[in-house]
Structure 1
Amino acid sequence: MKTVINLVLAACAVVLVYICYGSIMGPINFDKEKKVREDAIIARLIDIRKAQQEYRTVHAGAYTASFDSLIDFVKTAKLPFIMKVGALTDDQLNNGMTEKKAMELINKAKKTGNWSEVEKVGLQNFRRDTMWVAVMDTIFSKGFNPDSLSFVPYGNGAKFEMAIRKDTTKSGAPLNLFQAQVSYDVYLSDLNRQELINLKDTQEKLGKYCGLRVGDIEQPNNNAGNWE
């Protein structure tokens, strides 16, 4: 009988140790895995932001709510890049010369072949040439796969939610906003369920979005991420 009691007590002790270990390591393991996943997701959201910011430069300040359009833009679009040679001197600036006026004089000389006016104001070594560079070569590192933009890392094939807002301010100025987001449920649902519930409860009490988001269609935030 005594042996049986000792075995029961030993088993209870093992169970208690396991429970205590789980209560300590559960949150630690959850936070560790959450960080790994969110680092990858944040990197992807930053890529989306970079693509959207370049997209708007050639679309009258407007963003796109379509990943198909955004991905096609990244794959095929080219952006202007100004090659600058020379700079205006203080004397030239004080005399009212601007880069625009300088290029007008130079372009006129190219057409007419008469460079006397350019030489007179000392612009012989002044150049501003526009080159068109592929978006892929401008804002992304070598080997980047644009088709990955819409997919959530660790999301089992899930895609980011993306939305835009086209509006005007009270002064009548155009207002273009975008956001891309993914909820905790998409990329954390296979981890400790209670820790996920606790995390969401905390965020909801703070009035924060339960997930990761870049940009905001409710109010301008300079396209910041909610992790920044």
Structure 2
Amino acid sequence: MKIAFNIFLILIIVFLGFMLYKSIQDPIEFNAEKTKRENAVIQRLMDVRSSQEIYRLIKGDFAKDFETLISVLQTARIPILKMVGDKDATDGVFSVDTTYVNAIDSINSLKIVLDSLPFIPYSGGKRFSITAENIEFQKTMVPVLEVSTVKKDFMGQFGDARYSMYDKSFNPKDVIKFGDLSKPSLAGNWE
């Protein structure tokens, strides 16, 4: 009887030790995974923003979908304007010389992989939501853009609301995005 009781106590001690370990390890794993995944998503959003800025240089507005964005960036050229003439001359005569560079060269120099641009990292193939419009802002028509995703889309097993007990600011329904459809801004909400 005494041996059975000792074995039972040892099992309880092992179980409680394991539970203590898990209670310490779970928040550490969650925070490490959250940071890693959020950083990857933010980097991809920054790549999308840079790509859209190059697209705007070429077309004058933003791409409404990723297929158009990728297609234009793979084939189009960016105009570079150079003003030739003496700025101090009294006659004010100058000329504009336009040269072109391939957009794909600019994309490659930024180390952006166009094929993976639409996809949210760690999401299993889910795509970013993209909305591009033209709005009137201060009596001028301006292009606006918003690209976003919900945190639960890339948090995997950690996308459950119960993980908010490890980080009070974490809400799996929060949106991570850049841009604004009500004003011309490409700022990210992580900045």
- TM-score computed with the length of structure 1 as normaliser: 0.71
2:17 aligned with 1:17: yes
CA drift of 1:200 comes to: 9.2
Contact (CA 8 Å) 1:83, 1:130: kept in 2 or not? yes
Q: Name the CA shift for 1:67/1:39 in 2 (closer, same or farther; >3 Å).
A: same
Equivalence map 1:66-81=2 (5 Å)? 66-81=65-80
Map of 2:47 onto structure 1: 47
Deviations 1:79-119 (A, max 9, x none): 0124678x84xxx62x5365xx222xxxxxxxxxxxxxxxx
Map of 1:65 onto structure 2: 64
The one of 120, 128, 139 equivalent to 1:152 is 120
Tell me the C-alpha RMSD between the 2 structures.
2.9
Map of 1:131 onto structure 2: 99
d(CA) in 2 for partners of 1:58 and 1:189?
Answer: 37
Which structure is larger by alpha-carbon Rg, 1 or 2?
A: 1
CA drift of 1:71 comes to: 0.7
Q: Which amino acid aligns with 2:16?
A: L
Contact (CA 8 Å) 2:153, 2:159: kept in 1 or not? no
CA drift of 1:132 comes to: 0.7
d(CA) in 2 for partners of 1:149 and 1:178?
Answer: 16
Give ranges in structure 1 of 5+ residues lacking alignment.
Answer: 104-127
- Report SS of the residue matched to 1:174: strand
Contact (CA 8 Å) 2:144, 2:181: kept in 1 or not? yes
Contact (CA 8 Å) 2:58, 2:76: kept in 1 or not? no
d(CA) in 1 for partners of 2:123 and 2:153?
Answer: 6
Q: Which amino acid aligns with 1:53?
A: E
Map of 1:180 onto structure 2: 147
Richer in strand (by share): 2
CA drift of 1:194 comes to: 5.3
- Report SS of the residue matched to 1:81: strand
d(CA) in 2 for partners of 1:200 and 1:166?
Answer: 38
d(CA) in 1 for partners of 2:98 and 2:173?
Answer: 43
Contact (CA 8 Å) 1:200, 1:210: kept in 2 or not? no
Give ranges in structure 2 of 5+ residues lacking alignment.
Answer: none
My pick for the range that moved more, 155-164 or 174-183, is 174-183
- TM-score computed with the length of structure 2 as normaliser: 0.83
- Tell me which of the two structures has the higher relative contact order, counting C-alpha pairs closer than 8 angstroms and 6 or more residues apart: 1
Map of 2:94 onto structure 1: 102
Q: Name the CA shift for 1:168/1:201 in 2 (closer, same or farther; >3 Å).
A: farther
Q: Name the CA shift for 1:199/1:13 in 2 (closer, same or farther; >3 Å).
A: closer
Deviations 1:6-36 (A, max 9, x none): 2222222222222222121111111112222
Identity %: 28
